Structure 1
């Protein structure tokens, strides 16, 4: 009997600790790892980062140049359950139960445009509100060009990878709703 009570006591303590840990990771801070080359030369494949989730929790608007993590599934409404499912431990548990891997929808990108901004892509550069951006962080001159002028909608941001010639970003999926901006890089 004493062994069972002791085991239940330990089990409760472990559940409380796990719930606290998941809560911190979902709403405050989250370690993450870069997957791919789209943020080179600033960030590298498999590099570890610490992300602040406070902006997402309190619905803050990021600033120009911020490196953020986003949910690229812009065609669907994001809900609180998504924040928990994106937690690394829960993600792997769900993967084990479902037996399949969902496509990578969490991206690390740089904020280039905010609501109301107009963006153009010409002559190998990004122009925001008619002015060419000075971007010392990009890997190389961009080969992408478009005659389209994009206006970032209200409650959205426009994000791009620093490796412009090897990045799938807002140029291809559109502007990212603010509730899909999941966090901001603190340090690497």
Structure 2
């Protein structure tokens, strides 16, 4: 082969590798497509529905607002590392095309409590700081869950729940979620 052909091939390889690196940086740190798995957010989000998640909130360690739909790492009993921030988007990307690659550690939920909030679960409803929440987005009007003691959300944490309260694993079972386990905010549902 002539030097001109070799140079052309190397230029193409360089362009493809550079494009892949840029795409991965965007996917890991800025935006990420993902897919809903399960019924815990019905009727707001449905099983198999695609989501666009903005990731810069996670990088900036931003505290989500009440009602914000977020993606969380449910493994709240372990510290997150930069390896998690690189590995999870890659696994998530693979799971969009191959359901067998999907993990059960990343959940989509709604923020119900922020630091300092006192949450109670009584009469089938959620109470925050002594006031019953008005939650038109929940699937059932009442949930089949009560708790005899209140939960105070610690500093640097959020309390999340699924909209389909009677069919959701969430902070009621894993506890408040550290803000560094909030992986991104759902921006669009497709």
When normalised by structure 2's length, the TM-score is: 0.90
Unaligned runs of 5+ in 2: none
Structure 1 stretch displaced more, 11-20 or 31-40 = 11-20
1:7, distance to aligned residue in structure 2 (A): 2.2
1:187, distance to aligned residue in structure 2 (A): 1.7
Q: Distance in 2 between matches of 1:15 and 1:76?
A: 34
Once the two structures are superposed, what CA deviation does each residue of 1:51-91 show, in whole Å capped at 9, x if it has no partner?
A: 11121111111000000000001011111111111114686
Aligned residue among 73, 76, 79 for 1:77: 79
Contact 1:39–1:109 under 8 Å retained in 2: yes
Q: Distance in 2 between matches of 1:103 and 1:34?
A: 12
Unaligned runs of 5+ in 1: none
Q: Secondary structure at the match of 2:18?
A: helix
Structure 1 pair 90/39, CA: closer, same or farther in 2 (3 Å)? closer
Name 2:28's counterpart in structure 1.
Answer: 26
Contact 1:65–1:110 under 8 Å retained in 2: yes
Q: CA RMSD in A?
A: 1.9
Once the two structures are superposed, what CA deviation does each residue of 1:14-42 show, in whole Å capped at 9, x if it has no partner?
A: 11111111111111111111111000000
Name 1:157's counterpart in structure 2.
Answer: 158
Q: Distance in 2 between matches of 1:22 and 1:158?
A: 30
Aligned residue among 7, 10, 18 for 1:8: 10
1:4, distance to aligned residue in structure 2 (A): 3.1
The equivalences for 1:1-188 within 5 A come to 1-88=3-90, 92=94, 103-140=103-140, 141-188=142-189
When normalised by structure 1's length, the TM-score is: 0.91
Structure 1 pair 178/45, CA: closer, same or farther in 2 (3 Å)? same
Q: Secondary structure at the match of 1:153?
A: coil
Q: Distance in 2 between matches of 1:38 and 1:65?
A: 15
Q: Secondary structure at the match of 2:149?
A: strand
Contact 2:94–2:101 under 8 Å retained in 1: no
